[in-house]
Amino acid sequence: MKKKFYSNNSKEKQYIVIGCGRFGSAVATKMSEFGNEVMVIDKNEDAIDDIAEKVTHAAILDVTDERDLKSIGLGNFDVAIVAISSDIRASIMATIMAKELGVPKIVCKAKDELQAKVLYKIGADRVVFPERDMGVRLAYNLASENILDQINLDPEYSIMEIVTPQSWVGKTIIELNLRAKYDITVLAVKAKGGLKLMPSPKYKMEEENILVIIGNIDKINDIISNQEF
């Protein structure tokens, strides 16, 4: 397949996004907006044409072709994002090549746990599940209007932004005994007076405070199911 390159001005940190679907395009565009050097590769010419002006470099090539990946200097990038999940062969080939060529950090998209296990085995440093994670966030938001946002760190722990449960108002963090009872740590409190990072155990909860917490997902589910909000 003939390679077609587009190039804009160089930036700073170097990222390569392998696969130019909705997820890959969104990641590439945002990383470029953050001031990084971003290259996108995909065999779909229309997809590359659409994103070419938004990133530093864009190339049309077959990600399963070892020679093509070597020809673009894959090993010179700081981070490789393998944004392919529908074609497991392409995902595996791209991950293996990125690992063999010495890319320091490899992040892969997966559609299920089995695919994630394979990707970790062959060298992925991190595997993400965009569709699953978005579904989980929606479920939390539907379960309780007081849950504003949520990010899963791994299968067991999550960072969550919540409105202070009514049953917590007027009590201090130490009185609520959140770590022992729920395996929860309050990282920050957004109050009318401003943001408080790592609040004191003596901090008293106020109505409509927004809490940024990190905790065990199952324990957070207990809070929701017990209707503490």
Res 6: pLDDT: 46
Amino acid at 195: L
132-225 topology per CATH: Alpha-Beta Plaits (3.30.70)
- CATH of segment(s) 4-128: 3.40.50.720
87-125 pLDDT, tens per residue?
Answer: 899 999 999 999 999 999 999 999 888 999 999 999 999
Listed by start position, the domains of the chain span: 4-128, 132-225
Helix (H) or strand (E) holding 190: strand 184-191
Over its C-alpha atoms, the chain yields an Rg (Å, rounded) of 22
| Sign of the Cα pseudo-torsion (34, 109, 40, 75, in order) | positive
Q: Which residues of the chain have pLDDT under 50?
A: 1-11
pTM flag (> 0.85)? no
